[in-house]
Structure 1
Amino acid sequence: AMIAVTGEDPANLIICQLAKWKCNVPRVIARVNDPKNEIVFKALGIDETISSTRVLMSVIEQELPSSGFIPLMPLTGSHLELIEAEIGPDTPSAGKSVRSLGLPRGTAVGGIVRKGSVLHADDDEVLEVGDRLVILAPTKDESEVRKALSG
């Protein structure tokens, strides 16, 4: 196999075509910078394409908050941050009380937004699907808060 990975789509296409048609390389793979060119590369006999744009988008998507857990902002002059977390249909926290979540020490649920209304988040409040929790937590404990909410 031969892989062409220059930063220029035309160069990668020519390199792969030369390898395939002149040097009889059985499998050629090209990096494609412009996703619109993927169809052209396939039509011209390139066996596989790797879209750097698609790879980058995949990495960005993986880094985006998932499961409704969004670190909102660090609080200036402290080691605390404000976090918003949504209780989704697949979230094990649904049906549990705030007390039973097992949040790390020093973490507080400041409020619950339920169906457009703000509720006081007392320890006995049972969480429902669709609830959005506003949480104040030590920055170092963000992953533990995420783990406590996701079960």
Structure 2
Amino acid sequence: MRVAIAGAGAVGRSIARELLRGGHQVMLLERQLDHIDPDAIPDAVWVHADACELSLLEEAGLQTYEVVIAATGDDKANVVHSLLAKTEFGVRRVVARVNDPRNEWLFDASWGVDVAVSTPRLLASLVEEAVSVGDLVRLMTLRQGQANLVELTLPADTALAGKPVRVLRLPRDTALVTILRGGRVIVPTPEDPFEGEDELLFVTSQEAEEDLRGALAEHGLKT
């Protein structure tokens, strides 16, 4: 897969290294000349360009990339780059970094963003996930805000222990995708039993999330 990353700071470089290790082709776009260091990541294509300049993006061949990641430290630059990538270059998938949570409302489909990643919000969700037992925690928003990845850790003394997955009547547009149990990742079948301290990962639409809370509450989970 060909991935273009706007911003070659610490975040952009870290993403580039991970993608290269996965066998992907990576281009790093950076407007500050002193941040360009091909020796740091020799397998990446380095381009000195402003991510918001249409002509420079054309010269870089942005239209040949399948995924764009707007990873600069400037939210305004990230939304403008996302919009250009989607509308001018037809990039299939645009992922944008949100630096200031107050700007999250900007990062949606109207600005060309398919997935917005807010580091402060993600860290807060992970903290909640680590300490919350019996509470439904939203980990991530997927598909331009149309669905959420949510997690619930069952209490050790849960009433669901020993009962099969099928007893949990999930609302429409909701799926239990994984049960994490110790070091195991379980793709659940209807007959698999729950156990205390299971971590349940659901994908649910925005509209169905409240109904999911109600379905879990029927089994004594406060959510």
The TM-score, its normalising length taken from structure 1, stands at 0.51
Q: Which residue of 2 aligns with 1:79?
A: 146
1:134: which partner in 2? 201
Report the CA distance between 1:111 and its aligned residue: 0.7
In the superposition, relative to structure 1, how do residues 146 and 72 fare at CA in structure 2: closer, same or farther (>3 Å)? same
In structure 2, distance between residues paired with 1:103 and 1:125: 15
Larger Rg over CA atoms: 1
Other-structure match for 1:144: 211
Aligned-CA RMSD value = 2.1
TM-score using structure 2 length: 0.36
Larger RCO, structures 1/2 (Cα 8 Å, 6+ apart): 1
Tell whether 2:187 aligns with 1:120: yes
Alignment of 1:1-150 (within 5 A): 67-150=134-217
SS in 2 for 1:140: coil
Partners of 1:125 and 1:139 in 2: CA distance:
27
Tell me the CA shift for residue 76 of structure 1: 3.1
How many Å apart are 1:90 and its aligned residue?
Answer: 4.5
**Structure 1: 5+ residue runs without aligned partners?**
1-63
Structure 2 unaligned residues grouped into runs of 5+ = 1-130
Paired with 1:142 and 1:65, the residues of 2 have a C-alpha distance of 18
Which amino acid is 2:138 matched to? P
Shift of residue 146, structure 1, vs aligned partner: 1.9
Structure 2 CA distance for aligned equivalents of residues 87 and 124 of structure 1: 18
Q: How far does residue 108 in structure 1 lie from its aligned partner after superposition?
A: 0.8
Q: Which amino acid aligns with 2:139?
A: L
What is the percent sequence identity of the aligned residues? 33
Distance 2:203 2:213 in 1: 12
- Output one character per residue of 1:30-88: Cα deviation in whole Å (capped at 9) or x when no partner: xxxxxxxxxxxxxxxxxxxxxxxxxxxxxxxxxx9662321111113252100111111
Q: How many residues align?
A: 88
